[in-house]
Amino acid sequence: MPPSYRLLFCDLRTDQLLDALPVQGVSVDDFIGKTGRFTGTVPIPNRAVAERARRAILPGRTGVWVERGRDLWWGGVLWTLQLASDSRGFLGAQIQAGGWESYLYRRLLYDTQIAEQVDQFDIARGLVDYAQRATGGDIGITYDTDVSGIARDRTFLRYGLPTIGDLLDDLAAAENGFEWRIGSFRDTDGRRIKRLQLGHPTIRGGASDIILDHPGPVLSYTWPVDATVKANAWQSRGASINTNQAADSFPLTSPVLVAEDDLAAGWPRLDGSSDYTTVERQDTLDAHARADWSAVRAPVTIPEITVLLGGSITPALVGSTIRIRIRDLWHPTALDARYRVVGISVSPPERGRPETAQLYLEAP
């Protein structure tokens, strides 16, 4: 029998424990490059539990930590509550929470920030510091002091009221950029930690490969190849440039980048573009264009495998490398390759179905 799930409801700003309640119908997602999500239902069997839940479940004000057995698996901000009563009178509090990253997408930049030849990790940490320095804005996000070795010039203008999360995404997506997420774990003293994780060029975790076979521990898989986002010709647009108020304004543009080797190999021309409306420097825009173009030149493949949950298969696997071995009709000589886990989605056990996890993979 798999371990049960329990929710720790805490004050978002102080992390003071408000209550611990059981939860049913759990769904947990955790990703690199996308905000994770939790959904579940807290059963309300009697008046005493209802009173406890009313005090603890305060959308927008409460932090949620998810425990599976004795292990801390996930953390985030509780955003929605929906009370539901079925035809038999059973009451449940259906809740939804977003990973700690979701908070940074609710915080706006009200003051222009300028960085000149500053390491991109320090720029990212500076944005988080800006959010947490505001009165009421500190939710306890911590970080280390590692650097990436990539210095950048950046001016973040306040006029468009960008979110801190969007600014981090734009910075991370630059040429020679990085990945970021906010991890949830306990330190050696048992304290709950919200840690900003930065990785250049990627976030890595785990010291040794986990080997998964199909047939075997891999129950099922999907292996999509998506060329709808492929482009071999690219241009990016920046802020509008207008030195003459009487004339029309036009956006700053990068050179058109064309993969001549693609066209020579027989590919049709596929055009793409991106917009950076706050970028006013030509070199910064050109770097964004090169990074975007590099990302879309090859069809994107994000395999998904379904495995039994437990043992070494936990949300801590995100960022780690696993070895996949598949032998079937499509792979008669057997696929044997390493992939990095960039996301995990947990499915609780149901009648006739075990507790499983979907792993989202990326070529390392």
For the cut 80, the answer to whether the pLDDT of residue 35 exceeds it is yes
What six digits make up the tokens of 321? 């490398």
Burial (CB count within 10 angstroms: exposed 0-12, middle 13-18, buried 19+), residue 344: buried
Q: Do 215 and 309 reside in the same domain of the chain?
A: yes
Confidence of residue 357 (pLDDT cuts 50, 70, 90): very high
Neighbour tally for 109: CB within 10 Å: 20
Q: Do 67 and 136 reside in the same domain of the chain?
A: no
For the cut 90, the answer to whether the pLDDT of residue 250 exceeds it is no
Reduce the DSSP state of residue 276 to 3 states and report it. Answer: coil
- The total number of structural domains that make up the chain: 4
Q: Express each pLDDT in 175-207 by its tens digit.
A: 999 999 999 999 988 899 999 999 999 998 875
Peptide bond into 268 cis (omega under 30): no
Q: Quote the mean pLDDT of the chain.
A: 92
Q: 32 or 1, which is more confident?
A: 32
Q: Do 218 and 239 reside in the same domain of the chain?
A: no
Q: Do 15 and 153 reside in the same domain of the chain?
A: no
Q: Express each pLDDT in 278-329 by its tens digit.
A: 788 899 899 999 999 998 998 777 899 999 887 788 888 999 999 999 999 9
Q: Do 113 and 195 reside in the same domain of the chain?
A: yes
Q: Which residues fall within 8 angstroms of residue 115, CB to CB, at 6 or more apart? A: 122, 123, 126, 152, 153, 154, 155
| 159 close to 126: Cβ distance less than 8 angstroms | no
Q: Express each pLDDT in 62-82 by its tens digit.
A: 999 999 888 899 999 999 999
Q: Do 256 and 329 reside in the same domain of the chain?
A: no
pLDDT for 207: 59
Confidence of residue 160 (pLDDT cuts 50, 70, 90): confident
Q: 99, 118, 146: which is the final residue of a domain?
A: 99
Peptide bond into 215 cis (omega under 30): yes
Q: Do 212 and 327 reside in the same domain of the chain?
A: yes
pLDDT for 21: 95
Residue 268's domain comprises 233-296
Q: 73, 99, 125: which is the final residue of a domain?
A: 99
Burial (CB count within 10 angstroms: exposed 0-12, middle 13-18, buried 19+), residue 228: exposed
Predicted TM-score (pTM) of this structure: 0.87
| 218 close to 212: Cβ distance less than 8 angstroms | yes
| 300 close to 229: Cβ distance less than 8 angstroms | yes
Q: Do 275 and 346 reside in the same domain of the chain?
A: no
Rounded CA-CA distance 124/84 in Å is 41
Q: Do 32 and 110 reside in the same domain of the chain?
A: no
Q: 266, 296, 326: which is the final residue of a domain?
A: 296
Q: Do 247 and 331 reside in the same domain of the chain?
A: no
pLDDT for 3: 74
Q: Do 125 and 184 reside in the same domain of the chain?
A: yes
What six digits make up the tokens of 340? 């990095």
Any idea what the CATH number is for the domain that residue 134 is in?
3.55.50
What letter would DSSP give residue 161?
A: -
